[in-house]
């Protein structure tokens, strides 16, 4: 079977959905030696030429900025279908929600990672919500199957878009193997600490600085911890929608700091240097940072909403996102009680073993193979 993939996300700086596709492509040779894969992008993906997938260039250049936003729907609706026909694609896989408006001749599968633009309109800019609302319903209708990444996201898709349950398959994401407990040398520790100006002990948050992630809640938790511990909360991540307003409040305090964007190669080490991972997010399609932290051996304190209980498991420390005192109590208990700390750490490592990219990819390929003729 010839499988075509919308691989445009691999041409630019890697985001969450881009990493999703990257990891599936990386593991396909380990689980599938029968199907042929074709990666369709703007300017081609030479870095994938010597892999199991064939890179197909549809433009001589990769559009950027505003031009990319204009050309993207044109490419999807008028250029891509011609290439799918030219290369005799049997199944088209879109890891990023969207299909052409006209139903494809080939079978098609889309991945919908979340629908949090429906959960709270404030989580996304106005133009993005309208863009999603215009394209997503038709893509769902034209798809033969929808893959989503948690039972929580599946429920939301059914609730907001009235999609039949039988048309949706849940396949969990995973964290990569670089996230693991590490015995860091003193030199490794000091190098990372100097690069990011880290204290010896800290509580960690990684993720976008935006309302959906409950940054205001983290600030309130920091206020409750001020007189109870000298361990600061450090936030790493890019500034998202309306995120700058939180920086002003953070700068007024000494026990919470915004550290900016962390390089991907350094993130596994920062997880290993931290004492606790704090993630009181309002809504997550999957909650990958929680899994990365658990897999790294870092105790997690997170929300009991959306997909997070699925990731953390039944025995993790979870609270309502607005239960700031509950989060503060959980953090203090972890900092003061070594036996409890070690118990939560071990539970997290054990729970994280339920997720792997090889398992994810095997399940995706199994879905592909159901459409063999």
Residues 261-304: tens digit of each pLDDT: 999 899 999 999 999 999 999 999 999 999 999 999 999 999 99
CA distance 133 to 124: 12
Residues 288, 290, 292, 296, Cα dihedral to 10°: -170
Helix (H) or strand (E) holding 330: helix 324-336
Task: Compute φ and ψ for 3, nearest 5 degrees.
Answer: -105, 120
Which residues belong to CATH 3.40.50.2000 in the chain? 2-174+357-369, 186-352
Residues 141-192: tens digit of each pLDDT: 999 999 999 999 999 999 999 999 999 999 999 999 999 999 999 999 999 9
Helix (H) or strand (E) holding 128: helix 126-142
The predicted pLDDT at position 245 comes to 94
Low-confidence ranges of the chain (pLDDT < 70): 50, 60-69, 123-124
Distances (CA, A) of 309 to 169, 293, 344, 357: 19, 15, 15, 20
The predicted pLDDT at position 60 comes to 67
CA atoms within 13 A on the CB side of 11: 21
The predicted pLDDT at position 65 comes to 63
**CATH classification code of 2-174+357-369:** 3.40.50.2000
- Contacts of 270 by beta carbon, 8 Å cutoff, 6+ apart: 192, 196, 198, 204, 206, 236, 262
CA distance 223 to 219: 6
As given in the structure block, the two tokens for residue 55 are 């890179």
**In the chain, % of residues over pLDDT 70:** 95
Tell me how many helices (H) and strands (E) the chain has. 15, 13
The predicted pLDDT at position 280 comes to 98
- Fold classification of 186-352 is Rossmann fold (3.40.50)
C-alpha closest to that of 270 among 195, 331, 345:
195
CA distance 131 to 157: 17
The predicted pLDDT at position 46 comes to 78
Whether the CB-CB separation of 112 and 137 falls below 8 Å is answered with: no
């Amino acid at each position: 079977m010839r499988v075509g993939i919308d691989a445009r996300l691999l041409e630019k700086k890697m985001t969450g959905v881009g990493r999703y596709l990257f990891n599936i492509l990386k593991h396909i040779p380990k689980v599938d030696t029968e199907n042929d894969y074709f990666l369709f992008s703007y300017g081609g993906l030479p870095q994938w030429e010597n892999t199991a997938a064939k890179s197909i260039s549809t433009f001589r250049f990769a559009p950027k900025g505003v031009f990319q936003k204009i050309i993207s729907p044109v490419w999807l609706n008028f250029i891509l279908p011609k290439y799918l026909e030219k290369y005799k694609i049997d199944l088209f896989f879109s890891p990023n929600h969207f299909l052409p408006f006209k139903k494809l001749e080939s079978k098609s599968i889309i991945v919908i990672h979340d629908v949090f633009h429906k959960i709270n309109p404030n989580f996304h800019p106005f133009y993005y919500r309208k863009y999603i609302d215009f394209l997503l319903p038709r893509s769902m209708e034209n798809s033969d199957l929808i893959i989503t990444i948690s039972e929580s996201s599946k429920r939301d898709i059914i609730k907001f878009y009235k999609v039949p349950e039988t048309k949706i398959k849940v396949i969990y994401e995973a964290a990569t193997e670089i996230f693991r407990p590490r015995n860091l040398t003193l030199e490794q520790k000091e190098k990372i600490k100097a690069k990011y100006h880290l204290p010896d002990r800290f509580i960690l948050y990684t993720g976008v600085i935006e309302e959906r992630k409950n940054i205001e809640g983290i600030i309130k938790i920091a206020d409750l911890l001020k007189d109870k511990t000298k361990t600061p909360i450090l936030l790493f991540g890019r500034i998202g929608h309306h995120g700058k307003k939180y920086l002003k409040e953070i700068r007024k305090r000494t026990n919470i700091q915004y550290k900016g964007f962390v390089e991907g190669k350094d993130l596994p080490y920062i997880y290993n240097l931290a004492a606790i991972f704090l993630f009181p997010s309002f809504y997550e399609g999957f909650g990958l940072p929680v899994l990365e932290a658990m897999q790294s051996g870092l105790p997690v304190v997170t929300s009991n909403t959306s997909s997070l209980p699925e990731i953390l498991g039944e025995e993790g420390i979870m609270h309502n996102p607005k239960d700031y005192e509950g989060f503060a109590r959980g953090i203090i208990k972890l900092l003061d009680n070594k036996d409890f700390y070690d118990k939560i750490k071990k539970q997290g490592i054990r729970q994280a073993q339920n997720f792997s990219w090889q398992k994810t990819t095997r399940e995706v390929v199994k879905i592909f193979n159901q459409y063999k003729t």
